[in-house]
Structure 1
Amino acid sequence: MSKPVALIVGVGDGLSASLARRLHREGFDLVLAARDIDKIAGLGAETEAQLAVCDASRPADVDALFAALPGPLRLAVYNPSARQRGALIELEPEAVRHALEVTAYGAFLVGQAATRVMLAQAPEDGVRGTILFTGASAGVKGFPMSAPFAMGKFAQRGLAQSMARELHPQGIHVAWINIDGGIRNPGRTEPADRPDSMLDPDAIAESYLMLVRQQRSAWSEELSLRPWVEKF
């Protein structure tokens, strides 16, 4: 029998890499998608993953990605986002459009494609699959000099809420995760006098897996993750 497939879209060397390693240990058949797969070749070999070139804001790329899945899709994770910082009156409209296409429109395309695949496959214990969106505190409160990111994350959060209400009764678990703080990605360090003041990507990955394992009688729609010293 085919192993369950976990798809991660927007893979880099931080959170998504930690998640890929954790899911590999859990026994998933991985598909890792990124615009530049040369940068994740090592991770792909380590996790025995299928690599796919994909710009998630392009419908044709997303269609091709899902058409090539090697087995039943049990998990789809959407990680990409784009920031465009600057004073509101100085923002370039096309740069803002790009940020929204990556953060919000791409999330819609991947969410829609994952839903179509999951609805067409047989459930396991009543569950057809899980779709997770990596959010941020910008999806709860907009910060100055960061309007495009707030717009994208608010839209992404609204998408996830709408999908959850529509799809939970059909056996698809949908959740949006608010990463409320900086992630301790490679190359980023935290002050010596403030241990664990950044989110450990391995710890975040464990929380994602917890969502996948949740029983349908008590599904989470949203999850907020923040270091113990992060202000609310």
Structure 2
Amino acid sequence: MKMQPTAVVVGVGSEEGLGAAVARRFARGGFHVLVGGRTMSKLEQVVAGLADGNGTPVQVDATNEEDVLRLFELASSPGVGRSPASVVVFNAGNNQHIPFQEVSSAQFEDFWRVGCLAGFLVGKEAANLMLPQRQGTIIFTGASGSLRGKPGYAHFAAAKAGLRMVSQSMAREFGPQGLHVAHVVIDGGINGARLKNLRPDAVAQRGTDGLLNIDAIAETYWQLYLQHPTAWTHEIDLRPFKESF
């Protein structure tokens, strides 16, 4: 009997968010998706919308190593008729404009824990799970801040740049062992619930197709998974056609 493949998506919130869109894309592709995030009610809503009910909600704080270990125990034994996870997507993150002189050490550390430490914890356990099979795909969600720091975003950029280096080091170490590690730079605003709630003015200003469509981003993640090992992408940047760079 052919086993159903399993994917893990960490950092899922609203149904109108990127994590949910990635979960939907992999479920549509035949995967059973472990949908990980902090709020169970949101996770259950996302799972309810997956193709053929191909999902399991898993409440997880990705900055907590015990939570991550528990998630990957499930990923290694996802249920009868399912194979251990062969795709892991790390999408956790937070963002907020704070002038440099107003950033507290606690805030700086919190952004680093969510944006970088959590990626390390998830990436480490993903590698531990996949290396024995010498195959698998690990994708990290990056941002403009992965490449450059802007005024008022030092705390965010430091975390995202650190995550980029984690993913780059993993790609160089584990690529030759069969693991495809990719980093996706999201260079622009995402047309999802977070931006709509926090900055509706920015959404209106950007106009039609001025923000990244979550399903379009998710399709890129799917295509990264499909890539042949002789032509892997490590890093790709995505932005609306209206976005300057």
Q: What whole-Å deviation, never above 9, does each CA across 1:69-108 have from its counterpart, x for those lacking one?
A: 2032111000111235322222111111111011000000
Q: 2:208 is matched with which residue?
A: 195
Instruction: Evaluate the alpha carbon distance shift between residue 177 and residue 193 of structure 1 in structure 2; reply closer, same or farther with a 3 A threshold.
Output: closer
User: Matches of residues 175-214 of structure 1 in structure 2 within 5 Å?
Assistant: 175-186=182-193, 188=196, 190-191=203-204, 194-214=207-227
> Is 1:32–1:52's contact at 8 Å kept on the other side of the alignment?
yes
> What is the CA–CA distance in structure 1 between the aligned matches of 2:238 and 2:8, rounded to whole Å?
22
Confirm or deny that 1:34 pairs with 2:65.
Answer: no
**In the alignment, is residue 66 of structure 1 matched against residue 78 of structure 2?**
no
AA of the residue aligned to 1:205: A
Normalised TM-score (structure 2): 0.88
- 1:129 is aligned, of 124, 136, 141, to 136
Residue 192 of structure 1: CA displacement? 8.1
Distance in 2, matches of 1:75 and 1:15, equals 16
Out of 214, 218, 221, which is 2:234 matched to? 221
**2:131 pairs with 97, 100, 119, which one?**
119
Question: Is there any run of 5+ residues in structure 2 with no aligned partner, and where?
Answer: none
Contact 1:3 1:72 in 2 (8 A): no
SS at the partner of 1:120? Answer: helix
TM-score (norm 1): 0.93
Deviation at 1:44? Answer: 1.1
SS at 2:230's partner residue? helix
Letter of the structure 1 residue corresponding to residue 192 of structure 2: N
What amino acid does structure 2 have at the position aligned with 1:55?
D
SS in structure 1 at match of 2:49: helix
Q: Which amino acid aligns with 1:219?
A: W
- For residues 193 and 50 of structure 1, the distance between their equivalents in structure 2, rounded to whole angstroms, comes to 35
SS in structure 1 of the partner of residue 190 of structure 2: coil
Unaligned runs of 5+ in 1: none
- In 2, the alpha carbon distance for the partners of 1:42 and 1:86 equals 32
Matched, 1:161 2:168: yes
Q: Report if aligned partners of 2:123, 2:138 keep a CA contact under 8 Å in 1.
A: yes
* Alignment partner, residue 54 of structure 1: 60
For the Cα contact (< 8 Å) 2:7–2:86, is it kept in 1?
Answer: yes
* Amino acid aligned to 1:153: K
